[in-house]
Amino acid sequence: MGEKIENDKDDPTPREGVVEGMPLFAKELIAGGVAGGVAKTIVAPLERVKILFQTRSEFHNIGLVASFRRITTTEGLLGFYRGNGASVARIVPYAALHYMAYEQYRRHIDFNFPGMGSGPVVDLLAGSLSGGTAVLFTYPLDLVRTKLAYQVVDSSPKLNNKVSIVSDHAYRGIKDCFSRTYREAGMRGLYRGVAPSLYGIFPYSGLKFYFFEKMKSHVP
């Protein structure tokens, strides 16, 4: 049980706690965080339109192309990235924790419960636990990202040459949104809606990693 497991030459997956001078969990944190940040920034325009579809009545029936045109006209290209700073600030630690925790949970289960083997039950369990862990640690950032993306800003020319923020709260940035939410409702306000998020992430994350491992086994 306590012996160090050597890697097979055909299996590049490291089993030791340290790889090339860096702790394995640190490599998993860095790789997961960078991957999440890059992917989230690339899809940020679609994410912004999705949130507006879900939350603002003026976007409900105009369609995807018209929504893109409207944001371009009223907010410019930067409008597609409104809330992306908070989104990246959330997704980097979220993705880092998600992938690192998944591998750590798998290693913990393999070491302490060898009778479970390494089949789909372990993938589902480790994936679900890692998703829940990542959500609990980063949920306030997700809430702030949603609030900022929900805002609609009209930067088209005005008579007084001022930018008009059409929103219920008009947050001025990540820090302002955090501080105002905390002042209004404390930590409970920063975790409002976390229970439904956990209900969704457990099966989603478990199935995601199960199919991830399943597909890997079919790739030469």
Question: Among 97-106, 112-121, 155-164, which stretch is predicted with the lowest mean pLDDT?
Answer: 155-164
Give the torsion sign (CA, 169, 174, 176, 179): positive
What does the angle CA 11 – CA 17 – CA 23 come to, to the nearest 5 degrees? 110
In the chain, domain spans: 19-217
- Of all residues in the chain, the percent with pLDDT exceeding 70 is 83
Is the pLDDT at 162 greater than 70? The verdict is no
Q: Which helix (H) or strand (E) holds 55?
A: helix 44-55
Pick the CATH number of 19-217 from 3.30.70.20, 2.40.50.100, 2.40.10.120, 1.50.40.10: 1.50.40.10
* Residue with tokens 């890997």, as numbered in its chain: 216
Considering 9-13, 109-113, 133-137, 183-187, the range whose residues carry the highest mean pLDDT is 133-137
Is the pLDDT at 167 greater than 70? The verdict is no
Mean pLDDT of 76-101: 84
Per-residue pLDDT, 207:
93
